[in-house]
Amino acid sequence: MIPVQGYSGATVAVLGLGRSGLSAARALREGGAEVIAWDDNEAARDNAQAEGFAIADLSKQGALDGAAVLIVSPGIPHLYPQPNKVVRAAWEAGVPVDNDISLFFRSFATSEWDNFERIPKIIAVTGSNGKSTTSALIHHILEHAQRPTQLAGNIGRGVLDMDPAIDGEVVVLELSSYQTDLARALTPDVAVFTNLSPDHLDRHHGMGGYFAAKRRLFSEGGPDRCIIGVDEDEGQYLANQMAGGATDDRVIRVSSGRKLTGDGWNVFAKKGFLAEWRKGKQMASIDLRAVPGLPGAHNHQNACAAYAACRSVGLAPRVIEAAFHSFAGLPHRSQLVGEKDGVKFVNDSKATNVDSAAKALQAFTNIRWICGGLEKEGGLGGLLPHLGGVTKAYVIGREAANFAMQLGDLPHEVCTDMATAVARAAADAVKGDTVLLAPAAASFDQYDNFERRGEDFIAQVETLTKA
């Protein structure tokens, strides 16, 4: 645990008692704060009360009197689509609103660091797609290189549940827009921006607000090194804003699919090869085509970002390359889960939006595509140009018929449930085909989360391949 500094003897209010909220409450108490907490869910309140936390309805008049700060869990809206009533009450009472990410950045460094030979570093990763894989890959490379490292944030443990840093450690954080948007303190040593595509637009009041939440990690974080994907205009803009000139190597530009030129520090993947160029000279080249845990152009972009981040903390290209080959990938992200009679079954349940599904579809050929679920804002229009490798779609979800209507002339079958979709796709498939789950939709119409959806796919595939 990371004890929270700066609030010893003070009263701190915590709103939301899920994983991050309860973790924050514990770390605050460990640092000497008096915690009052609230969650609209009775079971969550009971769990916190069982741990000895004082429970009070923070929306009541005067509940925030004397509070030094209100800590808000990331899932609770603090501005759009409308502020939570407790957040509004904090505004009116003049109580600062903050989150656990900020508490971490304020508390991570301690006086013990004065005795370290190498000061610990923080690599923070944000973006729309690929940030989980990029974060996990950076962590894996560091482990391979025998560097002390921890992985936390939106993946793995909560930030305040980590162990205090040791000499030379590198902490890798995956940070969502919900987490960066509110944090008052953001001070990573290395910040990574993977890419940007429409997502969570209601929460951020449109693409501008969504990008602004991501940009805060850089503009307010002031990292020593910025790793920025420049395949979208927003990334180009951000790189331009953070660099002092064309040769400023505090910014490493990253791309998948095109060669980056110029005298700066560039890492890009083209035709399956990663290349690092610095000051007009090529420094390294890695063949990514034979790396089983990183299939497709989208994973090659993740590899470039992870490579650049690890180069920023002093790792050699050949060390990074060796680590690539032992990376198994993450569950539910282009995960090979079975093979039978020359047909591969790939689980990309994490492809919950059009952009991530498009990237998954571009990674394979001869695709039997399982798709559908709770459709996100904007429809499937952006996906239609990427269906050239799809032989047939098998649509699941409560509104499968409506989803299927947007697929145009693509051959499709309305299956509704996962078991039917897997069975029908497997029956139609021939040697060389890939049965790919890449839903391009949220899972909440049929499952609690995308993990449960992916687990159902895996279970159906296991039943089929063992038969």
| CA–CA dist 285, 362 (Å, integer) | 23
Reported as half-sphere exposure (CB side, CA atoms, 13 A), residue 99 has a value of 25
| CA–CA dist 146, 120 (Å, integer) | 14
pLDDT of residue 396: 97
Task: Please list the residue range(s) of the chain that carry CATH number 3.40.1190.10.
Answer: 104-325
| CA–CA dist 22, 37 (Å, integer) | 9
- For residues 228-251, give the mean pLDDT: 95
The binding site consists of 127-133
> Measured in whole angstroms, how far is the alpha carbon of residue 161 from the centre of its chain?
18
3 state SS of 399: coil
Task: Please list the residue range(s) of the chain that carry CATH number 3.90.190.20.
Answer: 335-466
| CA–CA dist 66, 11 (Å, integer) | 7
Count of residues for the chain? 467
Per-residue pLDDT tens over the stretch 114-149: 999 999 999 999 999 889 999 999 999 999 999 999
Tokens of 94: 């003049």
Report the phi/psi class of residue 225: left, alpha or beta, with left for phi > 0 and alpha for psi in -120 to 50: beta
- For residues 36-55, give the mean pLDDT: 96
Tokens of 449: 């989360």
| CA–CA dist 262, 277 (Å, integer) | 9
DSSP codes joined into one string, 185-244? ----SEEEE----S-SHHHHTSHHHHHHHHHHHHHTT--SEEEEE-SSHHHHHHHHHH-S
Range scoring the smallest mean pLDDT among 130-139, 161-170, 301-310, 375-384: 375-384
Tokens of 289: 């085509």
- For residues 61-77, give the mean pLDDT: 95
CATH homologous superfamily of domain 104-325?
A: Mur-like, catalytic domain (3.40.1190.10)
The binding site for ATP consists of 127-133
Residue pair 117/167 in contact (Cβ under 8 Å)? The answer is yes
Give percent of the chain with pLDDT exceeding 70. 100
DSSP codes joined into one string, 278-302? ETTEEEEEEE-TT-TTS-HHHHHHH
3 state SS of 413: strand
| CA–CA dist 79, 182 (Å, integer) | 10
Q: Which helix (H) or strand (E) holds 369?
A: strand 367-371
| CA–CA dist 435, 56 (Å, integer) | 51
Residue with tokens 């290189």: 145
| CA–CA dist 135, 305 (Å, integer) | 9
**Nearest alpha carbon to residue 270 among 252, 283, 288:** 288
Residue with tokens 């944090």: 183
**Nearest alpha carbon to residue 44 among 19, 62, 72:** 19
Tokens of 66: 């004397």
Task: Please list the residue range(s) of the chain that carry CATH number 3.40.50.720.
Answer: 11-98
For residue 330, pLDDT beyond 90: no
> Measured in whole angstroms, how far is the alpha carbon of residue 147 from the centre of its chain?
23
For residue 176, pLDDT beyond 90: yes
Residue pair 451/332 in contact (Cβ under 8 Å)? The answer is yes
| CA–CA dist 107, 325 (Å, integer) | 36
Residue with tokens 């040791």: 166
Q: Please state which CATH class domain 11-98 belongs to.
A: alpha beta
Per-residue pLDDT tens over the stretch 269-306: 999 999 999 999 999 999 999 898 898 888 999 999 99
Residues with Cβ within 8 Å of residue 200, at least 6 apart in sequence:
177, 178, 210
pLDDT of residue 283: 96
Binning the chain into helix, strand and coil, the percentages to the nearest 5 are 35, 20, 40
Higher pLDDT: 376 or 119? It is 119
Give φ, ψ of 319 to 5 degrees.
-65, -45
CATH fit for domain 335-466, picks 3.40.50.150, 2.60.40.1190, 3.90.190.20, 3.90.110.10: 3.90.190.20
